[in-house]
């Protein structure tokens, strides 16, 4: 799992840190087993299993 935040010239390090903490808390409190990007990558390998075919 990776939480990424980016700063800018007018944004203090503390605000960037708070944004990272907020993103992590949102993820942890969401109840999801995987993040949004990983979920998209898991759909295709799982599709044959859902259809009853065990071979990819």
- Listed in sequence order, the residues at least 6 apart from 7 whose beta carbon sits closer than 8 Å to its beta carbon are 13, 15, 16
Averaged pLDDT, groups of 10, the chain, 56 residues long: 77 89 88 80 74 57
Q: How many CB atoms lie within 10 A of CB 35?
A: 13
Q: Number of structural domains, the chain? A: 1
* Closest by CA position to 27, among listed 54, 1, 56, 55: 1
How far is the first Cα of the chain from the last one, in angstroms, to the nearest whole number? Answer: 26
Domain that holds residue 40: 1-56
- Model pTM greater than 0.85? no
Cβ contact 6:16 at 8 Å: yes
């Amino acid at each position: 799992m990776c939480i990424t935040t980016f700063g800018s010239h007018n944004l203090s390090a503390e605000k960037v840190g708070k944004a990272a903490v907020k993103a992590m808390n949102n993820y942890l409190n969401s109840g999801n087993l995987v993040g949004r990007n990983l979920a998209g990558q898991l759909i295709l390998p799982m599709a044959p299993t859902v259809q009853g075919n065990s071979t990819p």
